[in-house]
Each structure stands twice: as structure tokens, then as C-alpha cells.
Amino acid sequence: ARVKAEKVQEERKRHFAHKAKKHSISAYSKATTLGQALMNKELKEKFRRHLVTEFSVENLMFYEKVSVFENRFRDELPVLREVNEAAARIYADFLMDDSIYQVNLPANIVHVVDNILSDCIPGFDGVQFITQSSKLILSGNERAVPLDIFEACKQNIYDLMERDSYSRFRVGMITTLQRMERESSEMHEV
């Protein structure tokens, strides 16, 4: 029994030492900004899980959808229907009142997007768009929605995440890693 207990103790030491080494504080402290964390797949996923616990994962979802929208149409000759439907989908999912993933933005910023959509897609109605299976009924008077339509929204959400959620996430990660390193060193002393 004593040999087994020593083996278990040794395995725990290796486990905690490996975890502390793998996730060293310096590795996470390099990601000092949200932008740096979003470029790291592992950190981005950990941040996403953190946002779920804070009930604000829709902020990251919105940020990612807008980034995809901007990048998707930037390098190709956009098809009017595809650009407008993609913009309308983002609006319907994230900006419309009572939308499924409504993000918290100042009304004046959302109003600007409303106006641009109405100018580019005469008669646009977000509720009607949703009920028609995300297809726009085009009249022939449409213009392509500008690719930067969501830029102010995206920046506002990024600033919100960096200031609030990411700062709490970062403190929590560093605290957890410090605890793991402390437990690892305590295990080595035993």
C-alpha cells in the first residue's frame, strides 16, 4: 500500500509540474491585449468559455461574424445579394431588438446601421427578413451594403470585451496558474 501511495504521489507531482510548465504565467502574460489573445487558438477558446460563464459569449460571436463578413467580401468582387444578406443576417442575429444574440450597444450606433441598411436595401425589415428564411426580396433598387457597416459596432464590442471580460479573464488565468505553480512546488517539497 505504501509503494502504491508513493507512486500516486509521484504521479501527482509530475502532473502538476507538467501543467504548471505547460501553462506558465509568462505564456499567458504575453497576451496582454485582447487582440493578442484572439490570435492564439487556445487562449481564444479559454476566453470563449470564460464569456459563457459571464453570459456574454455573444460579444465574441458578433466580433467574429463581423470579421468574417469584412474579410469574406474584401478580396473578391462581392455579389450584391450575398453582401446584403450577410449584413442583414448579422443585423438580425445581433443588433435587432430582442434578437437571439443581441449585443449591448449604444442606440445611436445601432441607429446608424439601421439607416445604412434602409438606404441600401429599400424597405428592409429585420423581422420580415427572419420570417422569410434569411432571404431578401430584392426590388432592383438596392445598393451593396458597405463592408465597414459594422465597424463602429465591432470596435465598441471589442473595447467592451477588452475592458471588462478580458481583464477579468486575464486576472483569473494568472491567479489559477499561480495556484497551480504553488501546488506544484508544494508537491515537490513533500
| pLDDT tens, position by position, 46-78 | 999 999 999 999 999 999 999 999 999 887 777
Contact 138, 74 (CB under 8 A): no
Span 86-108, average pLDDT: 94
Say whether pLDDT at 98 is over 70.
yes
Span 138-146, average pLDDT: 78
Question: Closest Cα partner for 88 from 113, 60, 58?
Answer: 113
Query: With left for phi above 0 and alpha for psi between -120 and 50, is residue 133 left, alpha or beta?
Result: left
User: What's the chain's Rg over C-alpha atoms?
Assistant: 23
Least confident of 18-22, 115-119, 127-131, 143-147: 18-22
pTM of the model: 0.77
Dist. CA 182–CA 11, nearest whole Å: 17
Instruction: Tell me what the pLDDT averaged over the chain comes to.
Output: 82
Cα pseudo-dihedral 16, 17, 20, 24, rounded to 10: -170
Distance between alpha carbon 141 and the CA centroid of its chain, in Å? Answer: 35
Dist. CA 76–CA 124, nearest whole Å: 25
